[in-house]
Amino acid sequence: MLKPGDRVIVAVSGGPDSVCLLSVLQALAKDLDLALHVAHLDHMFRGKESADEALFVAGLAKKSGVPAIIEKVDVPAFCREQGLSSQEGARRARYGFLQRVALETGAERIATGHTADDQAETFIMRLMRGAGVSGLSAIPPVRENIIRPLIETTRDDILEYLRQNMLEFATDPSNAKPMYTRNKIRLDVLPVLKRFNPRIIETLSSEAALLRDEDEAMEACLATLSPNVISREKTGVILSREKFNALPQAFKRRLLRKAVDLVVAEPSGLSSPETQALSSVQIDEVLAFMSTARTGRAMHLPLNLTIERSYEKFIVSPQAVVQDFSRALALPGTTAIPEIGVEVETNVLEMRDEERRTGEEREENYLWQAEFDYDKIRFPLLLRSRLSGDWFCPTGLGGRSKKLQDYFVDEKIPRQKRDAVPLLISGGDLLWVVGLRTDGRFLPSEQTKSLLVIQVRQVEQGT
């Protein structure tokens, strides 16, 4: 992870894990000639509590004699503007901040305080969602310039280290509330598993490391095979049918994922790395289609993709034409939009102070989320494809209106993808270009009494 003379950004939240990380790296700094720099980002989710944590980190850095860069970003507003979940918005803001600080300071490494407990929790989350070997590898100890020195250390050992060295740390009260998936696993699932295996954290962490080694070995082997099987053309990503069908099933799954990733990697503005991979069920459905499909037959995939057999090859490409769609949304309730492979969940929440503070603690199993002032909503509430003449007032433009067509051009959304971008419509007004931008006129304010919460999930889709 480290070599002598490295400059290291230490991500310090103020919690026990990051305080321990800073202390351990300081202990290594002299022998390894490390130059440390503390970085802390206040996400502004918890008002005075998060502001106090920033002050605590500033004091800790000063006491430790380590320079620090401490900034704050209104992540709740960023999530509302971009239609992101709080978890995804916070992740983008945090890693963007850390990478910028590393660039500004010339640091070679960014150290984060992920632990064996985080590894175990991630393993269970991905196991429940049906991840393959790559997903179950969980959190990598090293990824590009990011290192996780405590990834094999349990939280119990960290707390004991802090006690022995009389090190103070801040406590985030939201971590003790079973209000979203990771906390439920930490508070409800792991204590039960510990009854059967007191060292379940170490066991799951070791299992993730084992699967990561096997995953790397398979990827290395696949790298020698893929150039003969997969290629890029103007029409999309091409798979040689004969060579693909001759591969073991495990390699087929990986090559299919790679083909999809190559297509989705083209700038669409609609998805993040967490949403690009197909589920295991979807992969198996596609492989079943590929084993029997005649030439000319095609299958729709999530994320507006198609796989088609054309004689002795398969072509994975963006869908050229998307059927127009318009669905009235149940409120509250869930509405399926099969044309684009998503479902929309709507809820109305009272805008109490507690709900403002804990907005980041809602579930995270959706692609996009947006919140609006319910009293500004008119009915019917629709999700539909674009129509000629659509316009809205994009958040951040000071209330100025913009044609949807011009917005797509400015944002460089490929022409073939524009018909598949869902639009949230309220009584004829365009509230949200889903996954891209909201209309600032309908966002919550200090006077908001009730929230309209819209969550969009991907569902399995095929023909």
What is the reported pLDDT for 23? Answer: 96
What is the reported pLDDT for 158? Answer: 95
Which residues of 83-225 form beta strands (DSSP E)? Answer: 109-111, 142-143, 146-147
51-65, 145-159, 303-317, 389-403: the lowest-pLDDT one:
303-317
User: pLDDT tens digit string along 299-315?
Assistant: 877 766 888 888 899 99
Task: Answer yes or no: are the C-beta atoms of 205 and 273 closer than 8 Å.
Answer: no
Share of the chain above pLDDT 90, in %: 48
Sign, CA torsion 383/386/391/393:
positive
Residue 339's pLDDT band, with cuts at 50, 70 and 90, is confident
Q: If residue 382 lies in a helix (H) or strand (E), which one and from where to where?
A: strand 381-384
Backbone dihedral angles phi then psi of residue 217, each to the nearest 5 degrees = -65, -40
What is the reported pLDDT for 398? Answer: 82
Per-residue pLDDT averaged across 413-439, rounded? 86
Sign, CA torsion 277/86/371/405:
negative
As given in the structure block, the two tokens for residue 319 are 């869908």
Pairwise CA distance, residues 434 & 410, whole Å: 16
The one-letter amino acid code at 74 reads D
Residue 386's pLDDT band, with cuts at 50, 70 and 90, is very high
What is the reported pLDDT for 293? Answer: 86
Task: Answer yes or no: are the C-beta atoms of 342 and 304 closer than 8 Å.
Answer: no
Q: If residue 437 lies in a helix (H) or strand (E), which one and from where to where?
A: strand 437-438
What is the reported pLDDT for 438? Answer: 93
Sketch the domain layout of the chain as residue ranges.
7-208, 234-318, 326-458
What is the reported pLDDT for 135? Answer: 74
Residue 28's pLDDT band, with cuts at 50, 70 and 90, is very high
Pairwise CA distance, residues 289 & 77, whole Å: 43
User: pLDDT tens digit string along 105-147?
Assistant: 999 999 999 999 999 999 998 888 777 777 788 888 998 899 9
Q: Where is pLDDT greater, at 404 or 318?
A: 404
Q: If residue 361 lies in a helix (H) or strand (E), which one and from where to where?
A: none
Calculate the CA 263 to chain-centre distance: 19
Question: What is the biggest distance separating any 2 CA atoms in the chain, rounded to whole angstroms?
Answer: 70
Reference 17, options 154, 137, 145; nearest CA is 154
Reference 97, options 21, 34, 20, 42; nearest CA is 42
> How does the average pLDDT of the chain come out, rounded?
85
What is the reported pLDDT for 176? Answer: 66
Topology at the third CATH level for domain 7-208: Rossmann fold (3.40.50)
What is the reported pLDDT for 298? Answer: 81
Task: Answer yes or no: are the C-beta atoms of 383 and 329 closer than 8 Å.
Answer: yes
Residue pointed to by tokens 């509430």: 381
Q: Report if pTM > 0.75.
A: no
- Measured from the Cβ of residue 299, the count of other Cβ atoms closer than 10 Å reads 19
Q: Would you call 426 helix, strand, or coil by DSSP?
A: strand
What is the reported pLDDT for 433? Answer: 94
Angle value at C-alpha 160, between 157 and 163, nearest 5 degrees: 155
Which residues have C-beta within 8 Å of that of residue 384, sequence separation ≥ 6? Answer: 324, 325, 326, 327, 422, 423, 425
Which residues of 153-304 form beta strands (DSSP E)? Answer: 230-233, 236-240, 298-301
Pairwise CA distance, residues 34 & 30, whole Å: 7
User: pLDDT tens digit string along 247-300?
Assistant: 999 899 889 888 888 887 654 333 334 334 566 778 888 999 999 888 878 887
Task: Supply the DSSP string of 265-311, one letter for each residue.
Answer: TS--SS--GGGSSPPHHHHHHHHHHHHHPPTT-EEEETTTEEEEEET
Residue 463's pLDDT band, with cuts at 50, 70 and 90, is very low
Task: Supply the DSSP string of 309-346, one letter for each residue.
Answer: EETTEEEEEE-S-----EEEPPSSEEEEETTTTEEEEE
Which class in CATH covers the domain with range 326-458? alpha beta
Per CATH, is 234-318 categorized as 3.30.465.60?
Answer: yes
Pairwise CA distance, residues 400 & 36, whole Å: 45
**Ordered strands of the 236-240 beta sheet:** 230-233, 236-240, 313-318, 305-310, 298-301
Pairwise CA distance, residues 121 & 116, whole Å: 9
Give start and end residues of each alpha helix (H) in 33-152.
48-64, 75-82, 86-105, 116-128, 133-136
